[in-house]
A and B are shown apart, each in its own frame.
Chain A
Amino acid sequence: MSVFGRLAGLVAARGNALLTAAVLVAAVAYPFLFPGYAINSMTMAICYGIGIVALKLLTGYGGQFSLGHSAFFALGSYVAFILAPTIGFAAAVAVAGIAAALLGALLGLAGLRIKGHYLGLLTFMVALALFQMPKASALAPITGGSSGLFYRAPLPATTPAARDVWWYWIVLAVALAITVGVHFLLRSRFGRALQASRDNALAAGALGVDTALVDVSAFAVSGAFAGIAGGLLAGVIGYISYDSFPYTLSILLFVGMTVTGARSLPAAYLGGALIVFVPTWAHDITSRLSWAVYGGALLALLYIQVNAPRLLQRLTGREATRPVGDVS
């Protein structure tokens, strides 16, 4: 668990309702506090945050690796944009969620057969495969080929600035609903079964948990939320093409999940902010080696995360507490 995860856990454990309320009020009031350009970036960060929440459900709580969540974003965005002109944007995003859930179930079936890093690479391949599909000539009439699709969702606002604020609130509301939903889902019978299946599938099975059903369902639910996030994000931007959600997004989502603590839901949005802002910072440091800076920073964070108890012990001279039962 990371430092962020610990902090978020502390907040939850103390039941600090006041702080939660303050953060929520600040989030809702944000467009008034800081109007202008940054609103759009925040909206995007929240969309990615939804994707990270979905990934935490699957990986942090379910123990299944996915390096393919950009595929759900891409699928969701295309389904939303293809259907929106006929059935309306909201309904289209809902269908996008269903389509992504089906893809998730398919990957979940594969996940029953291969585990761990190999599932990670398989899902990565899916992200790569879906990346080249919209360009294929057979699909081009529907997907717009390499020129992409445009769609302007009807909103009760006319100026671009007012539209940005509307998008922010819509995305925030969906994010809140999904995060709270996942929170309670994890405390339900399904959530307990999911975590039991992660910790020891054999033991969980012996106790009567249908681990296959649980694991596949987790993939489907995670996919659905990521698909919805993709549909929303496409709406925010108003344009999609095959490279709107490249495979690198999968990597960024996975890293965003890892460094913010695989089992801390609110911290996911911090991860979303990292996705939006860190590449720009890294680019500012050095444009040629921006990904190297990113990789190096990630390694440093991982090192601190893994060795923090030992480093703290050396610093304070006290016995460090061992983190209990992490994902493996």
Chain B
Amino acid sequence: MAGGWGSVVVLLQQVLTGLATGAVYSLLALALVVIHQTTHHLNLAQGEMATLSTLTAWQLLSWGVPYWAAFAVTLALSFAGGAAIQRLVMHPLRGGNALVQFAAMIALFLLVNSVTNAIWGPNARAFPSILPARPLFEGAPISGQRVGIILVGGALVVVLYLFLRRSRLGLNLRATAANPVPARLAGIAVDRMRMIGWGIAATIGAAAGMLLAPIVTLDPQMMFNVLPFAFAATIVGGVSSPLGAVVGGLVIGVVEALVTIYAPALGRELKLSLLFVAILAILLVRPEGLFVRRTGARL
């Protein structure tokens, strides 16, 4: 590339590539936000659960199930699985303090990771894409696959945002997290809301995993490598803002793509270190995230 148009195309290409990766970060970040909105907890095992879902989908596909059927079945299984984990693991521990809950998520993380490894082994697998990996049209700077990720991811984000903000169930979910006791007094089935919250988060994680799998390597570590970026996205956007999570994910995806092309040594070897420095900077300037209103507290 000799400057001029060549470098502009490279830049555009990287921005679009970054948007596609960012859309996936956004989705997983959104899953984290949903859990936070319904339980006020951060699910450390979110990424591992998403990997398990994705490998389940791969298994279904390898048995010859058509793509969209496998997609739908995986989403349904993930919802059931997430709700079951809440009911069987988190619910019996509800009397514990934050420390216990956090340790429980660590245990979940180890359990799910270990089970995934035991079933599918450490090998990487190819996961089919809904859309072709070739450029969208002749000379286009982006593959059809990545356009698909942006579109599907974007649609999911909009649906989820409307669900949480505009629907009765979404309101109940948020009320449960904000203050469970008055929520229960107001007639909300708090325990059921928590199960639904975990189910939804697991479903979003599954969708994110299935979208991401074709462009990265599908192995039991897949989401472990993505979770730090999704987490960074929630910090950038604010832990309680779905919109913030989306914008945060896109920004981080684009920045990552640009660093990879313009400062390759930095991007490859010190990616996480850079990410941490960026998070620290954001926290110091605007601790509540870019998209959350400041709130006061009472004694």
When the two chains form their complex, are residues A291 and B269 in contact, meaning their CB atoms are under 8 A apart? Answer: no
Number of A-B residue pairs, CB cutoff 8 Å, is 155
Identify the interface centre among B106, B271, B279, B284: most chain A CB within 10 Å of its CB: B106
Do B106 and A292 touch across chains, with their CB atoms under 8 A apart?
Answer: no
Knowing A125-B275, A203-B299, A302-B103, say if A116 contacts B110 (CB, 8 Å): no
Chain A interface bracket (under 10, 10 to 19, 20 to 34, 35 or more): 35 or more
Quick check: A132 and B103 within 8 Å, CB to CB? no
Chain B residues lying within 8 Å of A110, measured Cβ to Cβ, are 279-280, 283-284
With beta carbons under 8 angstroms apart, the residue of B44, B98, B228 that contacts A116 is: B98
CB of A99 within 8 A of chain B? no
Question: Which residues of B in the span 221-277 have a Cβ within 8 Å of any Cβ on A?
Answer: 228, 231-232, 235, 239, 265, 269-273, 275-276
Residues on the A chain within 8 Å of B98, using CB: 65, 116-117, 327-328
Tell me if A138 and B265 are in contact (CB < 8 A): yes
Kindly identify, within residues 172 to 228 of chain A, every residue whose CB is under 8 Å from any CB belonging to chain B: 200, 202-203, 206
Which of chain A's residues have a CB closer than 8 A to the CB of B270? Answer: 129, 132-133, 136
Asked whether A306 lies within 8 Å of B102 as measured between CB atoms, the reply is no
Contacts of A120 in B (CB 8 A): 42, 44, 102
Q: What are some 30 contacts across the A-B interface (CB < 8 A)? A: A59-B99, A114-B239, A116-B98, A118-B42, A120-B44, A120-B102, A124-B44, A125-B232, A129-B270, A129-B276, A132-B269, A133-B270, A133-B273, A136-B270, A251-B109, A254-B102, A255-B106, A292-B115, A292-B118, A294-B107, A295-B110, A295-B114, A298-B103, A299-B108, A302-B104, A303-B93, A306-B96, A326-B99, A328-B97, A328-B98
18 extra interface residue pairs, beta carbon distance < 8 Å, beyond A298-B106, A303-B93: A67-B106, A114-B287, A117-B102, A124-B44, A125-B272, A125-B276, A129-B272, A132-B269, A136-B270, A137-B265, A251-B109, A289-B115, A290-B114, A298-B110, A299-B107, A302-B100, A305-B100, A310-B95
Alpha-carbon gap, A116 to B98, bound state (A):
8
In the complex, the answer to whether B228 meets A128 with C-beta atoms within 8 Å is yes
**A217 to B288 alpha-carbon distance, docked (Å):** 23
Q: How many residues of B contact A (CB 8 A)?
A: 48
Q: Quick check: B114 and A291 within 8 Å, CB to CB? A: yes
| Chain A CB within 8 A of B37 CB | no
**A interface residues, Cβ below 8 angstroms from B:** 59, 65, 67, 106, 109-110, 112-114, 116-118, 120-122, 124-126, 128-130, 132-133, 135-138, 200, 202-203, 206, 251, 254-255, 258-259, 262, 288-292, 294-296, 298-299, 302-303, 305-307, 310, 326-328
